[in-house]
Each structure stands twice: as C-alpha cells, then as structure tokens.
Amino acid sequence: METLEAPYLLLATPALVDPNFSRAVVLMGHHDGEGAMGWVVNRLHERPVREMLSPEQQEGVHGSTPLHLGGPVPADALLAVFHDAIDGVESFEVAPGLHVSRSAGVLPLLFSRPPGPGIVPGRLVLGYSGWSGGQLEREMEEGAWLALPYELDLAFSARVDDLWRRCYARLGLDPATLGSGSGRSH
C-alpha cells in the first residue's frame, strides 16, 4: 500500500471497534515510512477549555471555545492546529497548509471569539493519535480506516457532531452499507 501524503482525513469505518476511534475523523498531519500522526477533530474533551488554561491564558480565549480530544496518546500541553500561517507566532507547518503551535501567543489570535458557523480558524487539542511505521497501512488493509483528501471545510468545520457522516457522504458512501470486517485497531 502506498503511503498517503498529509494532510488528509482518516475516517474510522463502522468495523473499527476501538472505543478511542469509533466514528472518528482524524486530521492527519504526518505520514511517512516511520509512522503517522494526527488529531481526532470530531471528539470533544469533557472539560471546558478554560479549566485547562492558566488565568493569563484564559483572558484571551472565549469561554465557548471547544477543546478537542486529539487522540489516546497523552500530551503534556494544549496544541493549536490551524490552517493559515500567523505572523509573529512560533509555529510549525507539519504539512502543506497545516500548522501547529504550543505558543500561548496563538490563543487570543485564534480563539478570542466564539466559534461561528462554517470554518473555524483552528482547533485546540489535547493529545494526539499516532501509529508506528506500517501500522496504519495494515489497519487500512484490514478495513479499519478510509482516507479522504484534505478539505478545509471538513477538517475545520465548526460543526463536529455529524462530521463523520458528512465525510462519508463526501466520499459518496453510506457507512451503514459497509461490511463489518475485523477492523480492529492495535
């Protein structure tokens, strides 16, 4: 199987029984022969983002900013994932047009206003999803995942409650019609 080039969206199939990834949409930021990494973008953390920030950081972040649970691999800090480069903020372009930053300076620039409909400027995530070299390819061959080319309106959609179904619709597929092969995640 050919290695996919990030960014792209990874969709859990109905066959995937791992509770960490059931109906997950993962924004993939890295994928090569050494492994793959991304962030679940349709699962929200149970704690409000403001509880995770210092008092100084809270001032620049709107209270309704969602905190995404990026995956089962714990991270020691919140990470902003965003689609447009921001001048004057320390960030890293992980894939073409996809940036990440741990800088507190990015918070008020991306998250000072309540999220509106349409496309959000970024996602605030805690944790990530990772696969060792060849692992994701094996899981895809087993039927656990489907790939969807990167689309800004899906990857950064303000509406995440039905994102999994909308991604399948973009592929022209109904997840209910897909078989339930082994699809287990390791």
| pLDDT tens track for 100-117 | 999 989 999 999 999 888
**Long-range contacts formed by 27-32: CB under 8 A, 24+ apart:** 27/81, 27/98, 27/123, 27/150, 27/155, 28/4, 28/95, 29/81, 29/94, 29/95, 29/98, 29/100, 30/6, 30/94, 30/95, 31/3, 31/4, 31/5, 31/6, 31/136, 32/3
Domains detected in the chain: 8-175 (3.40.1740.10)
* Spatial separation of the C-alpha atoms in residues 146 and 125, rounded to whole Å: 22
Cis peptide before 14 (omega within 30 of 0): no
Q: Is the pLDDT of residue 167 over 60?
A: yes
Place of tokens 């791992």: 18
Q: Which residues contact 6 (CB under 8 A, 6 or more apart)?
A: 28, 29, 30, 31, 36, 38, 94, 95, 98, 150
* Spatial separation of the C-alpha atoms in residues 120 and 148, rounded to whole Å: 19
Place of tokens 């001048």: 87
Q: What is the pLDDT of residue 183?
A: 43
Place of tokens 């800090």: 77
Between strands 145-149 and 8-12, the pairing is: antiparallel
Place of tokens 């992980």: 94
Give counts: helices (H), strands (E), the chain. Answer: 5, 10
What percent of the chain stands above pLDDT 70? Answer: 94
The residue-averaged pLDDT of 120-149 equals 96
The residue-averaged pLDDT of 34-51 equals 93
- DSSP state for residue 112 in the 8-state scheme: S
Q: What is the pTM of this model?
A: 0.92
